[in-house]
């Protein structure tokens, strides 16, 4: 852990959890509710955590994602963990090379360049909904 | 707990895994006061029984002391959500939470990356949905207002409702029955049509950054 790192962070979240090793913020801030978490089935990179280093929560995340991807929100709900804690656990697993996290879609407040791309996406969503 | 009365999600936790390969996920939110039918709408559309996460309020720093003084240390706010598979590689997530709670991180999580929102309203307490509308407007998140028509409720005509909500003339206002899949689907269809329409207007893009 890096004890100095917390002080300069925005006070958005907070009280550290035991399960997160005392940190209240994930090591990466790209995790979203619908970020897809998948277990890496390829040989893990040299920096990978050894299975013995996993916390119980990390083991549970790996276990429920072993057969396929789930979103951060789905993992949180299935493991009965707050989303904020789940993000920290997943983030550590990504750092450890055991899972991958697929980046969430671009933010809503679209730069003009996204307009066309967004329109195509909306069109697909519209078609899909009408066929429900 | 903030789960909706008579509408608490099941504890059935079987959630199918997402397909392998490239998939596109889209997020929408359903907001409105407690008991207005958010979870019902999610249930009408979701592939699985709505899931819930409970976020401890004690994590919200500024609330801690006040809650402790109130003797509450276990307060949580709940967020319900579901998954709608439109195509094998195109999946919509629908998140819902009560709008009156003040847990900002939850709102940030729910609305970040969301394309738009459905504001659910109940004709017997329209004003309870105003706060949700204010918050979405502050975020610049486009929305439609869907009046959930419970049996036996007063019905208003469109003009009366438009007047009551003081809506931007471009913001769609519709009625729905959140228990019905087709009706809930139509609320989302209207939202997407609104987003497309907005996307076409150049000024909508000026709000970016």
**pLDDT of the residue at B10:** 44
Residue B138: beta bridge partners? none
Closest among A131, A120, A111, A105 to B196, alpha carbons compared: A120
| Residue B198 in domain | yes
Nearest to A105 among B53, B110, B113 (CB): B113
Q: Which pairing describes strands B51-56 and B76-87: parallel, antiparallel, or unpaired?
A: antiparallel
Greatest mean pLDDT among B11-25, B91-105, B111-125 lies in B111-125
Closest among B23, B50, B26 to B38, alpha carbons compared: B50
| Token digits of residue B75 | 């307060």
Q: Is the pLDDT of residue A4 over 50?
A: no
Enumerate the residues of chain B whose CB falls inside 8 A of the CB of residue A110.
199, 205, 208
> What residues of chain B, 33 to 52, have a C-beta less than 8 Å from chain A?
45, 51-52
Start-to-end Cα distance in chain B? 36
Closest approach of A86 to chain B, Cα-based (Å) = 11
* Domain layout of chain A by residue ranges: 3-106
* CB-based contact A70 B18, cutoff 8 Å: yes
Q: Helices in A21-132 by DSSP H: which ranges?
A: 56-65, 72-79, 83-95, 114-130
Q: Is B53 on the interface with A (CB under 8 A)?
A: yes
Q: Over the stretch A23-58, which tens digit does the pLDDT of each residue have?
A: 555 666 678 899 999 998 876 666 666 666 889 999
Average pLDDT, stretch B13-21? 88
- Read off the pLDDT band of A7 (50, 70, 90): very low
Mean pLDDT of chain A: 76
Q: Output the domain CATH number for residue B137.
A: 3.40.50.300
Q: Is B198 on the interface with A (CB under 8 A)?
A: no
Q: How far is CA A88 from the centre of its chain?
A: 8
Q: Determine which of A17-21, A116-120, B24-28, B191-195 has the lowest per-residue pLDDT on average.
A: A17-21
Q: Is B165 helix (H, G, I), strand (E, B) or coil?
A: helix
> What residues of chain A, 16 to 35, have a C-beta less than 8 Å from chain B?
24, 32-34
Q: Which pairing describes strands B24-32 and B51-56: parallel, antiparallel, or unpaired?
A: unpaired
Mean pLDDT of chain B: 81
| Residue B209 in domain | no
| Cβ neighbourhood burial of A68 (10 Å; 0-12, 13-18, 19+) | middle
- Strands across the sheet containing B173-176: B51-56, B76-87, B90-98, B24-32, B116-121, B143-148, B173-176
What is the number of helices (H) and of strands (E) in chain B? Answer: 7, 7
**pLDDT of the residue at B75:** 67
Q: Determine which of B44-53, B63-72, B103-112, B118-127 has the lowest per-residue pLDDT on average.
A: B63-72
DSSP character for B123? G
| Residue B7 in domain | no
| Residue B180 in domain | yes
| Residue B192 in domain | yes
Average pLDDT, stretch B49-71? 65
Count of other CB atoms within 10 angstroms of residue B111:
22
Which of B192, B194, B196, B197 is the best residue to mutate to test the A interface, defined by the most A CB atoms within 10 Å of its own CB? B192
Enumerate the residues of chain B whose CB falls inside 8 A of the CB of residue A123.
196
- Read off the pLDDT band of B107 (50, 70, 90): confident
Which of B2, B16, B18 is the best residue to mutate to test the A interface, defined by the most A CB atoms within 10 Å of its own CB? B18
**pLDDT of the residue at B105:** 76
Give the H or E element holding residue B198. helix B181-200
Q: Which residue of B has its CA nearest to A85?
A: B55
Residue numbers of the domain that contains B64: 24-204
Q: Report yes or no: B131 and B102 within 8 Å, Cβ to Cβ.
A: no
Number of structural domains found in chain B: 1
**pLDDT of the residue at A105:** 55
Of A50 and B91, the structure prediction assigns the larger pLDDT to: B91
**pLDDT of the residue at B158:** 75
DSSP character for B50? P
Q: Determine which of A37-41, B100-104, B144-148 has the lowest per-residue pLDDT on average.
A: B100-104
> What residues of chain A, 96 to 115, have a C-beta less than 8 Å from chain B?
104-112, 115
Tokens 């951060």, located at residue? A72
Of B57 and B73, the structure prediction assigns the larger pLDDT to: B57
Which of B113, B116, B203 is the best residue to mutate to test the A interface, defined by the most A CB atoms within 10 Å of its own CB? B113
């Amino acid at each position: 852990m890096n004890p100095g790192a917390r002080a300069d962070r925005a006070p958005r979240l907070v009280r550290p959890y035991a399960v997160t090793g005392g940190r209240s913020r994930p090591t990466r801030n790209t995790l979203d509710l619908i970020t897809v978490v998948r277990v890496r089935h390829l040989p893990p990179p040299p920096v990978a955590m050894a299975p013995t280093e996993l916390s119980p929560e990390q083991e549970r995340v790996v276990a429920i994602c072993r057969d396929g991807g789930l979103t951060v929100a789905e993992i949180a709900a299935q493991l009965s963990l707050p989303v904020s804690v789940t993000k920290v656990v997943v983030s550590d697993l990504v750092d450890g090379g055991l899972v991958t996290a697929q980046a969430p879609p671009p933010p809503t407040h679209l730069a003009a360049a996204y307009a066309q791309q967004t329109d195509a996406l909306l069109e697909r969503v519209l078609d899909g909904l009408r066929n429900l | 707990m903030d789960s909706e009365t008579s509408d608490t999600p099941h504890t059935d936790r079987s959630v199918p895994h997402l397909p392998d390969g490239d998939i596109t996920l889209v997020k929408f939110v359903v907001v409105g006061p407690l008991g207005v039918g958010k979870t019902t709408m999610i249930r009408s559309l979701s592939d699985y029984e709505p899931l819930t996460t409970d976020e401890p309020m004690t994590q919200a720093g500024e609330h801690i002391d006040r809650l402790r003084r109130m003797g509450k240390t276990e307060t949580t706010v709940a967020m319900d959500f579901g998954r709608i598979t439109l195509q094998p590689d195109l999946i919509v997530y629908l998140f819902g939470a009560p709008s009156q709670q003040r847990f900002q991180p939850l709102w940030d999580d729910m609305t970040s990356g969301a394309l738009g929102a459905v504001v659910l309203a109940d004709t017997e307490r329209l004003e309870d949905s105003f706060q949700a509308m204010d918050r979405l407007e502050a975020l610049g998140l486009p929305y439609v207002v869907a009046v959930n028509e419970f049996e036996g409720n007063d019905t208003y005509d469109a003009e009366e409702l438009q007047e009551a909500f003081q809506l931007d003339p471009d913001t769609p206002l519709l009625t729905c029955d959140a228990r019905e899949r087709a009706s809930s689907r139509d609320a989302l269809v209207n939202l997407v049509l609104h987003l497309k329409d907005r996307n076409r207007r150049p000024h909508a893009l000026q709000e970016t950054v």
